[in-house]
Amino acid sequence: MTPLAALPSPSTAVWQLGPVPLRAYALCIILGIVVACVVTERRLRQRGVAPGAVLDIAVWAVPTGIIGARIYHVITSPEKYFGADGQPLKAFAIWEGGLGIWGAVAGGALGAWIAARQLGIPFAVVADALAPGLPLAQAVGRFGNWFNNELYGGRTSLPWGLEVHVMDPDNPGHALRDDAGNPILQPGLYHPTFLYEALWNIGVAALVLVLDRKLRLGKGRAFALYVMGYTAGRFWIELMRTDEANHILGLRLNVWTAALVFLGALIYFLRVRGPREYLIPVGTPATPVPPSGGDVSQVDLSAREAGPRAVAPEGYRVVSEEQFRAYQETGAVPDEPTETTPEDETEVDGTAVADPDDRAESDDRAEPDDRAEPDDRAEPDDRAEPDDRAEPDDRAGAAGARPADRDS
């Protein structure tokens, strides 16, 4: 039976701009990164991070993510590079395709962690801010597979079945053509697994945004929610794919990976508790943080027009949501919580001074041993005894005391 409708596929995935090839796969990845950065930047500002921090994070996270994605692909498909007919140097040919999302997330997380430490931002805040942006980036990136006519599923007669071209091995990025110059199609239609995953990822992003707003997730739990949502979808979509892959116990390797990562994220989500973290700058003042839901672009323009460019803060302090809202409204930095030790409490109670180091220690004061002891004072025996004193009969009366006796 001939299907009534079908999804077409592009016959070209590479365009030449002079000597420079423009690859659709790379453009989709770049566009996905831009989408993730825009979403993450907005969410970071809502939590108190200074404008532009996402660019500092991306400088580390994007390269390490690409490296991690390539390493995962090479490790899980070694026969293509180190097998009997493999070409080891092809392992570095990223432009020919072959990136694993699991390695991308792991490598990107490492880069983001390094950047977060340099900026003084808790890594959990960065991860939670990235949680809805990352699946949106993956959704955009999946259209690169559509241009490449790859990673499709099995045969189907559904109206949204995908037409797949036979790609020319001697002219990468272009469909093989017949004698009339028409692109050649694979027989039949196929499940558009790239589209299934793209739509699923958009749903995951919406789920994270809704639950994060409702539950006020913190401590990395929003990111764990993203991981659970993505891996749940990847599990069943991976079962539909028919491209070459290594198998373990009859299942594709990525099916096992999705299941294990899902369990790890679920355990983290259930065990970790804590309020959402908000940040205020420490050290050099940063650009004032706009209220949640405000127009970020307008705040940036007004800040630039008002004066010189703001300098990034030295770091950040984690505060409660109430303290952060008060800081937004008044600009007053909340007092830091003070911790007192038993030693501090004893000295304060005993001396009622600010700091033990700023006052004379008790050892510097006159101790009882340094004072005149009772033994050093005139003893009663050394004083004039009653017998040695002038008896009443021998001394003058009170009225007859001589001045010379008082002066001597």
Binding-site residue ranges: 142
Closest to 189 in 3D by CA, of 154, 236, 238, 223? 154
Q: What gap in Å lies between CA 134 and CA 130, rounded to an integer?
A: 6
Q: What gap in Å lies between CA 30 and CA 27, rounded to an integer?
A: 5
With a CB cutoff of 8 Å and minimum separation 6, the contacts of 301 are: none
185 three-state secondary structure: strand
Give one word for 333, left, alpha or beta, with left for phi > 0 and alpha for psi -120 to 50. Answer: beta
Strand-pairing partners, residue 20, are 17
266 three-state secondary structure: helix
- At position 138, the amino acid (one-letter code) is Q
With a CB cutoff of 8 Å and minimum separation 6, the contacts of 344 are: none
**Secondary structure of 59-106 in the HEC alphabet?**
HHHHHHHHHHHHHHHHHHCCHHHHCCCCCHHHHHCHHHCCCCHHHHHH
Helices 296-306 & 24-46, crossing angle to 10 degrees? 70
Helices 133-141 & 123-130, crossing angle to 10 degrees? 50
Please give the torsion angle defined by the CA atoms of residues 201, 207, 212 and 215, in that order, rounded to the nearest 10 degrees. Answer: -150
Give one word for 33, left, alpha or beta, with left for phi > 0 and alpha for psi -120 to 50. Answer: alpha
Torsion angles phi and psi, residue 6, rounded to 5: -160, 155
Q: What gap in Å lies between CA 334 and CA 320, rounded to an integer?
A: 10
